[in-house]
Each structure stands twice: as structure tokens, then as C-alpha cells.
Structure 1
Amino acid sequence: MPAVNNITRYSTDTCEVAGYKWDKGQYFAINVIGLHLNENYWEDPDLETSNDTTDTDDTKMAKNKFSYTIFCGGLRICPGRKLAMIELLSLMTLVYEKYDFELSDMNEKLNVKSAAITSCQELKVIIKPRKL
């Protein structure tokens, strides 16, 4: 799930988007959740497990770089995206080298709340110290 449900933009000049002409001063909203759940870009948009692993590098998503927009894209891409990814990998390395994690119930539905921002309200996991 994306952290932000939609991204808005304001046109400062007349423009053409997807073959439609738009006047100056129009607001645009990009439905990020709709994009992330679009079957045109994702083999399994509902995130269910898929047995088809034949498409690795040549997936539909790879053909459109804006089909997965966790940091937006284009000229307005998040300037902190590389730092965020480095921090995330560093944190994961520090935590996963010391602990093992597993979901307490693999079949339990996630408790996700979605408004302006999507967040997981509760995730039950079992944490055990890793045996070195």
C-alpha cells in the first residue's frame, strides 16, 4: 500500500495530459492507490501470491517507471528518496542480524487505515533473539 493515497498538482499554464487539453489553473489528482492496484501494470494487484515467476526483469511494471510511485516521480521526485532507502536498509540490517521475525498468524487480515495517509494499525509478530 502506498503511504499517500493521492498526489495533487496545479497547472501553471495550459497543457495536454493523455490527449486532453487543460486550461491554466487546473488541479490534478493522481490516484496512487488506483495506480498501484491497476491490472495493466501488476500481475497480481491485490498482492495475493502468484505462482507465475516467468516474468522477472521484463514485468509490466518495469515497462512504466511511474507504475510504482512510493517517492512520486519526474521533476518532483522526493529529494530524500535515496537517503530514505539507505536508512531503511541500514535499519533492516541492524535489526535482522539480531532478531528473527514471523507473523503470529499468516492468514489474519491486515488492519490498515487509509485516509490521507495509509498506515497499518496493528501487526502481530513474534520476535525471537537470533541464535548466533
Structure 2
Amino acid sequence: MKRCLSAPRICPECQRVFQGNGWDGIDAHLAREAWRRDAIRTSVAVDQVRPIQKEQLRSMRRSLLAAAALALLISTASAGDFRAADIAKLPQDKVAVIKANCAKEWGDNFRLREYCEDLKYEALQNLISRGSIGPKGERL
């Protein structure tokens, strides 16, 4: 059987016609076509993933903002840092109740006990300065 060398050689996948010595360059051509198909498939997959990533980024941003706001609130709330002299100026019966309540609530977690006491001392001091409670702890 005799082959016809003058017949065009056509790529079975993309119908590209090869010129010259038969199938010269078919390997490079098929590799390039495979790369192009993979690139198209990947870009479609990336387009499908992008909306999910955007929503995840929005969610992460919201979480970071919430954490920053919480840290700011905690740092300003614990800014009272009452010293013994400040606590001595408050009504001592109320101070005893505050200490007992915070000890009952937080047990051996001394950091949270301190935070709890400072928060309540500050609130008590604000009530006294506002005039809602007298300086000796009596209700007005």
C-alpha cells in the first residue's frame, strides 16, 4: 500500500492543518493544546471560586473589626485600675459586696476578678458623682 504524502495532515482535536514534512511539530502542538484546555478549565474553576473567596474575605474583615472593637472596649473598660486609695473613698459596705460578688462569680481567676471589681467600682463612682447614690452609699 502506498502512502500519499501530498494529503494534508490534520490534527484530530482542533483540525489544524500541518504543512511541511508530514506530522512535524505535532508533539509541541498537542502539548500547547493540552495546556490551553487546562488553562480554560482552570479559569472557569477560578471564576466559580472567586465569589466564595470574596464572601470569606468580607466575613474575615467583619470578624477582625469586631475583635478590634471588643479589644478597644475591654481596654477602655479596664482603664479604671483602681488603687487602694481610690477604693477607700468608696462606701466600704458596697466595696465588700462588690468583692464578694466578683469572687463568687470568677473564683480563682484573679485577672477577671480584678476586671470585674474595677468595672463595678467605676460604675459605683459614676453613680456617686451623678448623684444617684450618696457618698456613704445611701440611696437618694
TM over 0.5: no
Specify the TM-score bucket, using the shorter chain as the normaliser: under 0.3
Question: Larger strand proportion, structure 1 or 2?
Answer: 1
Taking structure 1 as the reference length, the TM-score comes to 0.25
- Ranked by relative contact order (alpha carbons within 8 Å, sequence separation 6 or more), the top structure is 1
Taking structure 2 as the reference length, the TM-score comes to 0.24
Q: Which has the larger radius of gyration?
A: 2
